[in-house]
Amino acid sequence: MANADVQVHLDLSKPHGHRVFVTLDVLAPAGQILLRLPAWTPGSYLIRDYARQLEGLSVEQNGQSLGITRVDPASWRVDATEPHQPLTIRYAVMATELSVRTCHFDQDHGFFALAAVVLELQGQRWQPHQLSCSLPPGWNAFSPLPGDSADGWRARNFDHLLDSPLEVGPHRLHSFSVHGVPHRWVTWAGAQGDEDWFLNRYPSFLDDVRRVCEACCELLDEPRPASADYLFVLHLLDEAYGGLEHDDSCVLVYGRRNLEAENGYRKLLQLIAHEYFHQWNVRRLTPAQLKPVDYHQASVIPTLWFAEGVTSYVDQLLPLRAGLTEEQSYLDDLGEDLSRYVLSPGRFVQSLQQSSEEAWIKLYKPDAYSANSQISYYLKGAVIALCVDLHLQSHGSSLPLVLQHLWRRHGRIARGYQQEDLLSAFDAACPGLAETLQRWLSSVDDPDLDGYLLSVGLQLEPEMAPYAWTGAALKSQISGLLVQRVYRESPAEQAGLMVGDELLGVDGMRLTQLDQWERLLSAAGSHELLISRRSKLRHLHIQPEPPRPKRFRLVELPSVTTEQRAVRTAWLQPGKR
């Protein structure tokens, strides 16, 4: 072997088998070698046990197979190596899970989150890693790493390699620049010709993306993006939504059916804005708990409310500031999020601080009862970011100005921040805000959302449901109605209904349609239910409550003062101050 780099080769020549065959070549260090596969990938805070997809591990040196001892579910020890002599490690990884944080490989494309693919060799984490791959005829490979599929790519170290997702397939590459920085865009559309359908339907799409990227730079008062060469990968599927950020790239998944909605294209631009903005907030302006990343166990990160919540708030603003969204459309989208928040019962149980700290065991592991006991740090974090921004606006500052300060103080020099650093920055912008913000983080009390909206001439207007409230969410199935959710301390819970119960009848009437449930129940008295639970018939009694709001709309006050309009202009159109 010519150098001390870790050589990583991925054999992707047989997509029909859904396996990537991995070969690692390295000069053996002295003593034992410990091999470990990461358990999770940064940006998605859940232990995923990638090792369950690994098979056929073998180690060879000088033509001889070496003994391997499993140390734990994702670690192996190799003994009796000859130091400074070439060592070859081989294994395969199944790639059948289609998401932005796992691996998927078939005859149409391949996507690889390399945390699920590449073993870490103890003592080699900070050594350069060379990546190469073999592909089916006519396929191309796309990586944010410097290099190309012909000669391979070079990562500065193991972390840099894992932060570089790999997309392969017969895709086309599209290019544009943002303030002189090259950007590449690749779409896997899931079916031949769909990329053309997408780009034909939205001929200004790449230019719109460029404008969103420029708005990110403007919001942070930066002349150029943080990355020197950026790659977008989009998986355009039937139904999907999500993304994962990296230093120099992001992977997006979006549904074609989403695009059919009135706000579908706007939501796609917001998703792009969210992941692109992460190259500053999260990737470089980073929680101290992620410096360095521990790939093998969960780390409590108290500031996810800032990392994700602030980014979720900003992602709606960016298309507006890029001139791609009308103000009313922005307010409609913001109103949807505020409505979801106000109607979330879990906000009375879990604080925003707890939501951040419990991400590993709650947010990414929801069940039918989760909404009763938890609140997303994305959602509530965005609501708190809105309140903080409007609070700062009323005191002559703004959230973007605080972000710029934090970026200069921590992000540019890659110095991880603690919660105290965030609170200190907010307090410097507006004395006393740190104490208020800490209270919002640590308690389940709502901020004065109505008051902050009033300061910009807006209010949440309830839209009442036309039927009595039971606190049960149902879905139709062939045999009847199935209980999907039961809200805590609701009439449904008090009646004894459980998730999974099959509703058969009300007051002696057979139930087959959702609208029957709504029409037959009233808040005037008790109703007898016939249900099936685990094949046993039961009779329950429910006392519905009067109708409640089914949603809220964000609307302008009947009369808006000059001061309210001025604050709103400074908030949404800062260039017109």
> Would you call 388 helix, strand, or coil by DSSP?
helix
Percentage of the chain beyond pLDDT 70 is: 98
Q: What is the pLDDT of residues 419-432, one digit of tens each?
A: 999 999 999 999 99
CATH code of the region 6-169: 2.60.40.3650
Answer for the pair 117, 20: CB distance below 8 angstroms, yes or no: yes
Q: In whole angstroms, give the CA distance from residue 194 to residue 187.
A: 9
Report pLDDT for 576. 56
- pLDDT higher than 50, residue 166: yes
Give, as one character, the DSSP assignment of residue 156: S
Question: For 140-226, where are the E strands, in sequence order?
Answer: 140-142, 147-148, 152-155, 166-169, 173-178, 181-188
Q: In whole angstroms, give the CA distance from residue 340 to residue 359.
A: 19
Other CB atoms within a 10 A radius of the CB of residue 367 amount to 9
Percentage of the chain beyond pLDDT 90 is: 92
Q: Report, as an integer, the average pLDDT of 150-176.
A: 96
Show the DSSP H helices in 234-305 as ranges: 256-260, 264-277, 304
Other CB atoms within a 10 A radius of the CB of residue 402 amount to 22
Q: Report, as an integer, the average pLDDT of 557-575.
A: 93
For 384, the token pair is 């708190």
Q: Report, as an integer, the average pLDDT of 73-90.
A: 92
Report pLDDT for 4. 67
Q: In whole angstroms, give the CA distance from residue 14 to residue 198.
A: 29
Report pLDDT for 149. 86
- pLDDT higher than 90, residue 80: no
The region that residue 190 occupies, defined by phi over 0 for left and psi between -120 and 50 for alpha, beta otherwise, is left
Report pLDDT for 150. 87
Report pLDDT for 3. 64
- pLDDT higher than 70, residue 193: no
Q: What is the pLDDT of residues 472-494, one digit of tens each?
A: 999 998 878 999 999 999 999 99
Answer for the pair 486, 369: CB distance below 8 angstroms, yes or no: yes
Cα dihedral sign, 33-38-43-46? negative
Report pLDDT for 136. 97
Query: Residue 194's pLDDT band (boundaries 50, 70, 90)?
Result: confident
Lowest mean pLDDT, pick from 78-82, 141-145, 225-229: 78-82
Who's near 336: CB < 8 A, 6+ residues apart? none
CATH code of the region 472-547: 2.30.42.10
Q: Report, as an integer, the average pLDDT of 91-98.
A: 98
pLDDT averaged over every residue in the chain: 95
Q: What is the pLDDT of residues 441-455, one digit of tens each?
A: 999 999 999 999 999
Q: In whole angstroms, give the CA distance from residue 404 to residue 221.
A: 7
Report pLDDT for 1. 44
Domain layout of the chain by residue ranges:
6-169, 173-277, 288-458, 472-547
- Map tokens 């369950």 to a residue: 52
| 173-277 against 288-458: fold identical | yes
Report pLDDT for 214. 98
- pLDDT higher than 80, residue 230: yes
Report pLDDT for 46. 97
Query: Residue 202's pLDDT band (boundaries 50, 70, 90)?
Result: very high
Name the fold adopted by 288-458.
Neutral Protease; domain 2 (1.10.390)
CATH code of the region 173-277: 1.10.390.10
Query: Residue 313's pLDDT band (boundaries 50, 70, 90)?
Result: very high
